[in-house]
Structure 1
Amino acid sequence: MTDLAELLDHKMPLAAWVIDVEQSSVPCYNAAAERLLTDSLSDIKSGQRAISGALKERLSFYLDTHEIGELLPFKWPFVSKEGAQYSVTGSVVSLGNGRKGLSVEAHPLVALEKVATPLAHDIHVGMLAQFKTLSFVIFSNSGTYISASDCFCAEFGDIHNVRDLFAVSGAANSFISRLTQQESLSQEIRLSTKKGVRWHKIEASHNKETDTFYLLTHDIQEERDHEVALYRLNNYDSLTHLPNRNLLYQQLESALVNARKRHRQFGLLYLDLDGFKVINDNFGHRVGDELIQRVAERIKGSIPSGACLYRLGGDEFVVVLENTSTIEELESIAQSIMQNASNTYPVAKMEMMITASIGIASYPQHADDVDNLLKNADAAMYRAKSTGHNMYFVYENRMADNINAHLTLGGGLRKAIEEEQFVLHYQPKIRLPDEAVVGAEALIRWVHPELGMISPDQFIPLAEESGLILPLGEWVIRRACRQLQEWREAGVPPIKLSVNLSSRQFMQADLVDMVRRALEETGVDPKNFELELTESMLMNDAQQSIEKLHSFRKLGLTLSIDDFGTGYSSLAYLKKFPIQTLKIDRSFIHDLGLDCDNDAIVKATIAMANSLNLKVIAEGVESRSQVDVLNGYECQEVQGYLFSKPLCSADFLTYMQNSYDTA
């Protein structure tokens, strides 16, 4: 116990002693404690307890949960034989052999009149009178409470020592140490109040004449809360609670500085959800917002702990990974995200699926500054989106040309609609088995004045994103109707012309009326006009789709499901949809006769359609062997490059005339 005895002597003039809680004994104490505990020490020697049973139980609990050197989070009162009051504090010490005890100090609680001269008392009373509406307190030089304003007492309650104010004991020690070295100080710190721990601004000054110090406190918790709320508002996405573009740029700038200094690499993934606009348009923004939340949660769970996920807004996300050594690390993250995206998302009591296109760029391989790194990752993402869904691409130099073309086309699309820079091409539909031309599918092309012929794969997504698909779709319908009228006036036998509808166009409120007006204005027989729709388009809102399809049927139009087999329609709804034709997707036709699975699917689809009195068209036919198989399965019509590619109006007319001459 020699070390503990020396430690206690250093604490003079405070009374300090050690309690062996387990044995309820006092094995060590200093001279001040011996004077204070005279009666208690004699009781202990007589075999009496040094502490009450309740206090022993409480102290035993804290000894079990606290390490050596830690302070107890509470104090307890002590009254001497003469009636003097003390506040006792304790810290955990080692008693040897793995046992723990308690080192305690007794801090006297001295009344104002016992420590202050009449002059000091008058000064204190006068000062407190000036601070009726402020939180003001006076402590002795040793930290003992002397007096305080009513506001202070109402906020902090019963305070005996300046240490009672601080939420962290280390902060109290630092404060007292600094105040003894300077006459005044000001700082922001957390204090313990009757309402809990709250941020305060404190100002303290030391009065050498009265040997006291004054403390003025101001509660700034609401200001701190407002600052935190404002920071989150500016730097975090309110929907997903992910950091936003502001914090992304901060991290990228910091990563750039570190990478240059330490000659390291870092990279990012730029994500854009595939077809999210369709979900927003068809199901509403509430469903879209919930889906975004689910997607954010899953992406966050798919990336390593060292990566950071940001939401840029809309359906765009960015993943940043610092200290990468290879591009393969970034590709591995992209693969993990895509793999987890294959599972459905439970949203609004539905099971939804959505994928993401991902672009990857790395410093310094692909850019040496933040803006170009983001731009190049975006270009790689655009390449992935234009190639197919749920794909990723690493940036290559030529991708910058693609994104520039994308922006150029987007800017000229509205002008192209106004100036009618579009034309329709027509791919013949061939009846089996006599291979007569019985119809055509109208396909739009953009004849750009500078770039020449632009395929729909390049400009239709732009039209969807910008909303220009509606006026463009109306132009296609009206132009197709005029073409039917021109062929009729040229003496061409009646054929059926089909037009594809986009999902955005199908949701157009006045679509049925627009089609009816186009038919009436051109005098086209509705039975010669067909609308092609996809399965997924119809199933987004099956009931509303049924109503709209019946409205089209009342006009006398023919309705066809395009790309059949690639969506998620059920046989139950297939019976309810008033359709007349199924088009088997080209992906099932490509390996026909070579792939048993595809053969079985095509055969079953044709048999099912025949039983429902539906006509079947196979698209993408490119070989005689495919025709032979389809003939054997009793498929009614085909279209594909074996017979003809899409033709301009004049060439299609010639193709038809040649077909009639051959027949």
Structure 2
Amino acid sequence: MTDLSKLLQCKMPLAAWVIDVEQSSVPWCNGAAEALLADSLGEIKSGQRMIGEALKERISLYLDGVEEGKSLTFDWPFISKEGIHYSCTGSVISLGQKRKGLSVEAHPVMKPRFSRDDQDVGLLAQFETLSFAIFNKNGVYCDSSECFKTHFGNINNVRDLFAVTDAADSFMSRFTQQESLSQEIMLSTLRGVRWHRIEVSQNKSTQKIYLLTHDIQEDRDHEVALYRLNNYDSLTNLPNRNLLYHQLENALVNASKRQRAFGILYLDLDGFKVINDNFGHRVGDELIQRVAERIKGSIPSGACLYRLGGDEFVVVLENIDSIEDLENIAKNIMQNASNTYPVAKMEMMITASIGIASYPQHANDVDNLLKNADAAMYRAKSTAHNMYFVYENKMADNINAHLTLGGGLRKAIEEEQFVLHYQPKIRLPDESVVGAEALIRWSHPELGMISPDQFIPLAEESGLIIPLGEWVICRACRQLQEWREAGYRPIKLSVNLSSRQFMQADLVDMVQRILEETGVDPKYFELELTESMLMADAQQSIEKLHGFRKLGLTLSIDDFGTGYSSLAYLKKFPIQTLKIDRSFIHDLGLDCDNDAIVKATVAMANSLNLKVIAEGVENRTQVDILNSYKCQEVQGYLFSKPLNSVDFALYMDIHGFYNVSVAVENDSV
């Protein structure tokens, strides 16, 4: 057994010392060690030098389980302040009381230096400005250019270059099987992990490995940026049309092989162009971003969302069991669209029309699948907003008609192919005619009379609703003057405004100009607006409505009960009339819920001093019920369908409107 007292009596020619691991101290060292360790150990406590906690923990890990007299296996390199390298070795000793210590000796060593032969010197000179390094056959570092050192720092082995251990193993394995190697790989540099192109060769005579590296990270970054530019939408970061076609082609191949189905949903936002034109593209872009986020959160994890551009999106779902899988996604999207979007310090609301098509039920190729989903979407848009339709064969014909009408719409405005029809408004209880609603029709030279349901959405989408709406207001005012000049007593004529018209900045000025040009008394002219239109930007709507009231116009909320206005705003809007939607009137007397709604609406309007008009009246039972509820006016097929100007004049003749000099003051009704 080696004893501490015996060790102290020994004269050791090398620097030697003893470490008491448990006490974290150096209880003994010779003169050589005293000089060597002067600046290397910690503070002196109780006359003994102390060792740091890191060294104590490291030694303790190796000391456990090692018998006395045995050497420790770990290597402990040490460099003196003079720059001399030492290799320290330790053996386990007994410090008494069953405590183990460590006897350490420091042996000076010469740092091995690689003797550069003439060939290596020549190569390094040749690659002086490049990142070039030389390694031995085992991958141990030999020498390198300054450019290599600046880029990678100090390394000991070629493996130190690789960011991933598996990549280093793969590299060494491949290189042992071939004399040269070229590849692109990620390496660890002083600037972090970066992409490099490496060229490696081996000199069989010297068994040296020559490595030339070229940093291509910026090239890779440019490639990624270019890929994203070509394949992703910059506004929403969603994949674009290119990646959509790529996925659809792959889905088609996979579905064909496995005899599975897949489908798409084609989405187009309702009335987005109105928002873009009236609030600006910044607001429109922000709304698109919010919509994209909400749609993405509304679809299942296995579905992919793409933006085609503008306000069009496509959802792709592979491996569907039935068309109901796609319909459920559409329903979820529509349900989530009922919440407003916080955009530019406003609460905006926008919905989407959705078309659905699937492979192989509706098409056998990608182009027709998209075209048919698009056709179904147009069907949804022409029917109502926030709806979806599954593709049917007849929809393709509707698309052709849609495109035909769209191409002729501008020409129709220029050639004034449009006419106004007029549906009488009847006062209760005496059932006298007190007004009319002007309704536009398209008298197409080839297709005949075209319903507004077919061309108004086209006019909205194309922006032609602005000149078309101005024509309607102008023509209605002229008609009022023509009836007056023909000797008919004055009646109040109402005109519907579209949402895009209402957002016109100069709408009030335009209406004022037409009234002045035609000489129409404003009290006989009424504008009908929907709840949704007014609530899109309630504060701006209030300002515009007050502008109309200053002109002396009457204002009416059309289709009341189908929108989302609140009573709080209803009190703020300077309106005079509520028009109950025909959907509530249709089952009046048959559906107690509808009865209650209509009765409550009339009572509420009367309490707010608002006139109530019920549209869609078709039978006497409805009239009797509305009369009992104290509804002031009605209109519908029971009294008359919409009539052209000539027939409406005859209608007024029948009801005693001609040559009556006393004007009816409708405002008090």
> What TM-score do you get using the length of structure 1 for normalisation?
0.81
- CA deviations 1:14-51 (Å, max 9, x no partner) are xxxxxxxxxxxxxxxxxxxxxxxxxxxxxxxxxxxxx9
What does 1:152-301 align with in structure 2 at a 5 Å threshold? Answer: 152-301=148-297
- CA deviations 1:81-114 (Å, max 9, x no partner) are 997989xxxxxxxxxxxxxxxxxxxxx998443x
Whether the 8 Å contact between 1:110 and 1:144 is mirrored in structure 2 is no
Per the TM alignment, residue 482 of structure 1 is displaced from its structure 2 partner at its CA by 1.3
Alpha-carbon distance in 2 for matches of 1:129, 1:641:
100
Per the TM alignment, residue 653 of structure 1 is displaced from its structure 2 partner at its CA by 1.0
Tell me whether 1:386 sits opposite 2:403 in the alignment.
no
Residue in 1 that maps onto 2:356 = 360
Whether the 8 Å contact between 2:346 and 2:537 is mirrored in structure 1 is no
Q: Which of 617, 622, 629 lines up with 2:613 in the alignment?
A: 617
Q: What SS does the corresponding residue of 1:567 show, helix, strand or coil?
A: coil
Amino acid at match of 2:420: L
- CA deviations 1:410-432 (Å, max 9, x no partner) are 11100000011100000000011
Tell me whether 1:306 sits opposite 2:302 in the alignment.
yes
Q: What SS does the corresponding residue of 1:660 show, helix, strand or coil?
A: coil
Residue in 2 that maps onto 1:46 = none
Per residue, is there more helix in 1 or in 2?
Answer: 1
Alpha-carbon distance in 1 for matches of 2:600, 2:169:
83
Alpha-carbon distance in 2 for matches of 1:317, 1:110:
68
Whether the 8 Å contact between 2:278 and 2:504 is mirrored in structure 1 is no
Whether the 8 Å contact between 2:306 and 2:313 is mirrored in structure 1 is yes
Amino acid at match of 1:559: L
Q: What SS does the corresponding residue of 1:575 show, helix, strand or coil?
A: helix
Q: Which of 615, 624, 630 lines up with 1:628 in the alignment?
A: 624
Tell me whether 1:426 sits opposite 2:422 in the alignment.
yes
Whether the 8 Å contact between 2:440 and 2:472 is mirrored in structure 1 is yes
User: Structure 1 unaligned runs (5+)?
Assistant: 1-50, 60-75, 87-107
Residue in 2 that maps onto 1:440 = 436
Alpha-carbon distance in 1 for matches of 2:322, 2:204:
66
How many residues in Structure 1 have an aligned counterpart in Structure 2?
Answer: 571
Alpha-carbon distance in 1 for matches of 2:495, 2:75:
90
Distance 1:646 1:571, change over 3 A: same
Per the TM alignment, residue 578 of structure 1 is displaced from its structure 2 partner at its CA by 2.7
Residue in 1 that maps onto 2:332 = 336
In terms of mean alpha carbon deviation, does 305-314 or 606-615 score higher? 606-615
Q: What SS does the corresponding residue of 2:618 show, helix, strand or coil?
A: coil
Residue in 2 that maps onto 1:475 = 471
Alpha-carbon distance in 2 for matches of 1:360, 1:573:
37
Alpha-carbon distance in 1 for matches of 2:491, 2:412:
30
Residue in 1 that maps onto 2:558 = 562
- CA deviations 1:567-596 (Å, max 9, x no partner) are 333334333333222212222222223333
Whether the 8 Å contact between 1:111 and 1:146 is mirrored in structure 2 is no
- CA deviations 1:156-196 (Å, max 9, x no partner) are 11100011111112221222222222222111000011121
Per the TM alignment, residue 77 of structure 1 is displaced from its structure 2 partner at its CA by 6.5
Q: Which of 137, 140, 143 lines up with 1:144 in the alignment?
A: 140
In terms of mean alpha carbon deviation, does 481-490 or 577-586 score higher? 577-586
User: Structure 2 unaligned runs (5+)?
Assistant: 1-53, 63-73, 89-108, 661-669
Residue in 1 that maps onto 2:528 = 532
Amino acid at match of 2:238: L
Alpha-carbon distance in 2 for matches of 1:580, 1:236:
50
Distance 1:85 1:161, change over 3 A: farther
Alpha-carbon distance in 2 for matches of 1:540, 1:497:
26
Amino acid at match of 2:442: W
Alpha-carbon distance in 1 for matches of 2:251, 2:536:
43
Residue in 2 that maps onto 1:461 = 457
Amino acid at match of 2:641: K
Alpha-carbon distance in 2 for matches of 1:566, 1:380:
24
Alpha-carbon distance in 1 for matches of 2:657, 2:275:
49
Whether the 8 Å contact between 2:435 and 2:493 is mirrored in structure 1 is yes
Distance 1:438 1:409, change over 3 A: same
Whether the 8 Å contact between 1:535 and 1:564 is mirrored in structure 2 is yes
Alpha-carbon distance in 2 for matches of 1:272, 1:132:
61
What does 1:593-604 align with in structure 2 at a 5 Å threshold? Answer: 593-604=589-600
Distance 1:521 1:125, change over 3 A: same
Amino acid at match of 1:137: A
Distance 1:57 1:290, change over 3 A: farther
Q: Which of 117, 122, 135 lines up with 1:121 in the alignment?
A: 117
- CA deviations 1:296-346 (Å, max 9, x no partner) are 233223333322211111221111122334323322332333333344444
Alpha-carbon distance in 1 for matches of 2:511, 2:376:
39
Alpha-carbon distance in 1 for matches of 2:233, 2:198:
34
Alpha-carbon distance in 2 for matches of 1:357, 1:77:
73
Amino acid at match of 1:449: P
Residue in 1 that maps onto 2:3 = none
Per the TM alignment, residue 504 of structure 1 is displaced from its structure 2 partner at its CA by 1.3
Amino acid at match of 1:320: V
Per the TM alignment, residue 349 of structure 1 is displaced from its structure 2 partner at its CA by 4.7
Residue in 2 that maps onto 1:655 = 651
Whether the 8 Å contact between 2:133 and 2:210 is mirrored in structure 1 is yes
Per the TM alignment, residue 652 of structure 1 is displaced from its structure 2 partner at its CA by 0.9
Q: What SS does the corresponding residue of 1:181 show, helix, strand or coil?
A: coil
- CA deviations 1:449-493 (Å, max 9, x no partner) are 111111111111111111101110111111111111111122111
Whether the 8 Å contact between 2:85 and 2:110 is mirrored in structure 1 is no
Alpha-carbon distance in 2 for matches of 1:294, 1:241:
12
> What TM-score do you get using the length of structure 2 for normalisation?
0.80
Residue in 2 that maps onto 1:134 = 130
Tell me whether 1:576 sits opposite 2:572 in the alignment.
yes
RMSD (Å), alpha carbons: 2.8
- CA deviations 1:388-423 (Å, max 9, x no partner) are 233222211111001111111111100000011100
Residue in 2 that maps onto 1:12 = none
Amino acid at match of 2:556: S
Residue in 1 that maps onto 2:95 = none
Alpha-carbon distance in 1 for matches of 2:631, 2:261:
58
Distance 1:407 1:273, change over 3 A: same
Amino acid at match of 2:148: F
Alpha-carbon distance in 2 for matches of 1:354, 1:333:
18
In terms of mean alpha carbon deviation, does 641-650 or 605-614 score higher? 605-614
Per the TM alignment, residue 352 of structure 1 is displaced from its structure 2 partner at its CA by 4.1
Alpha-carbon distance in 2 for matches of 1:661, 1:533:
28
Whether the 8 Å contact between 1:445 and 1:453 is mirrored in structure 2 is yes
Residue in 1 that maps onto 2:365 = 369
Distance 1:372 1:495, change over 3 A: same
Q: What SS does the corresponding residue of 1:272 show, helix, strand or coil?
A: strand
Distance 1:210 1:605, change over 3 A: same
- CA deviations 1:495-542 (Å, max 9, x no partner) are 111111112112222222322222222222222111112222223333
Whether the 8 Å contact between 1:273 and 1:316 is mirrored in structure 2 is yes
In terms of mean alpha carbon deviation, does 145-154 or 653-662 score higher? 653-662
Rg (Cα) greater in structure: 2
Whether the 8 Å contact between 1:85 and 1:109 is mirrored in structure 2 is no
Distance 1:656 1:597, change over 3 A: same
In terms of mean alpha carbon deviation, does 540-549 or 169-178 score higher? 540-549
Tell me whether 1:499 sits opposite 2:495 in the alignment.
yes
The percentage of counterpart residues that share the same residue type is: 81
Alpha-carbon distance in 2 for matches of 1:288, 1:126:
65
Per the TM alignment, residue 658 of structure 1 is displaced from its structure 2 partner at its CA by 1.3
Alpha-carbon distance in 2 for matches of 1:211, 1:542:
82
Q: What SS does the corresponding residue of 1:458 show, helix, strand or coil?
A: helix
In terms of mean alpha carbon deviation, does 638-647 or 177-186 score higher? 177-186
Per the TM alignment, residue 256 of structure 1 is displaced from its structure 2 partner at its CA by 2.0
Alpha-carbon distance in 2 for matches of 1:109, 1:512:
96
